[in-house]
């Protein structure tokens, strides 16, 4: 299977969702249900003040993550998908949604948890470096970053291991790897910000 050589565009994802409103079966898959449970169990704290979820899709994990924080900002690139997520989380007034194609677009503010679940391997190496810079600029002192990535073969620019290892290596100046595990079909990495001051955004 040949890989895309550059970051996947918003149009790529619009096309995927045009054919199926839940192409990865986030709402119905036992695999996704188990992965979400493991992701939430991996969070080092019971509650966070301000969380950023990059790539929220239809909001299944968003709704669960909302129970662990005071404020949650969820991003995606497809308006119709974001509308589905908003509907799923309509009763949660501490959750806000934003159209954003990272790393070129990024929300204002600082966060004590940034979740990058199944998103980094959609980027090429140059955009991965820009993503790390975005995270550095918005992660609070002592804040956590959680990476989750599928390990199977895809046509994405990076493999799951390349995405996670590349992020960890590039972020090593400001974030330390705290936990790492390989589950059935995916890997999960938890990093924590080191140092005393958050970089300006």
39, 120, 147 from 185: Cα distances, Å: 14, 16, 14
First to last CA, the chain: 38
Quick one: pLDDT band at residue 200, thresholds 50, 70, 90? very low
Average pLDDT over residues 67-84: 96
Greater model confidence, 48 or 2: 48
Q: Before 132, cis peptide (omega within 30)?
A: no
Per residue, the 3-state secondary structure of 134-157, as one string, reads HHHHHEEEEEEEEEEEECCCCCCC
Q: Is the pLDDT of residue 195 over 90?
A: no
Quick one: pLDDT band at residue 41, thresholds 50, 70, 90? very high
Calculate the CA dihedral of residues 183, 190, 179, 33 and round it to 10 degrees: -30
DSSP 98: E
Q: Is the pLDDT of residue 201 over 60?
A: no
Q: Is the pLDDT of residue 122 over 60?
A: yes
107-118 pLDDT, tens digit per residue, is 999 999 999 999
Confidence at residue 24, expressed as pLDDT on a 0 to 100 scale: 84
Confidence at residue 141, expressed as pLDDT on a 0 to 100 scale: 96
134-144 pLDDT, tens digit per residue, is 999 999 999 99
């Amino acid at each position: 299977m040949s890989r895309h050589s550059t970051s996947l565009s918003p149009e790529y994802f619009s096309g995927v969702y045009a054919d199926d409103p839940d192409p990865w079966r986030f709402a119905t898959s036992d695999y996704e249900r188990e992965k979400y449970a493991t992701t939430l169990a991996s969070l080092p704290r019971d509650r966070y003040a301000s969380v950023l979820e990059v790539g929220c899709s239809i909001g299944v994990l968003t709704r669960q993550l909302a129970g662990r924080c005071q404020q949650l900002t969820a991003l995606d690139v497809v308006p119709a998908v974001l509308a589905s997520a908003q509907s799923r989380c309509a009763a949660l007034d501490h959750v806000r949604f934003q159209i954003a194609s990272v790393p070129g677009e990024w929300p204002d503010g600082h966060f004590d948890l940034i979740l990058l679940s199944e998103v980094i391997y959609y980027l090429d190496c140059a955009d991965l470096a820009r993503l790390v810079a975005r995270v550095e600029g918005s992660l609070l002192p002592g804040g956590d970053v959680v990476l989750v990535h599928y390990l199977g073969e895809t046509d994405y620019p990076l493999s799951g291991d390349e995405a996670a290892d590349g992020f960890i290596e590039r972020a090593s100046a400001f974030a330390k790897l705290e936990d790492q595990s390989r589950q059935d079909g995916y890997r999960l990495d938890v990093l924590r910000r080191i140092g005393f001051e958050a970089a300006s955004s």
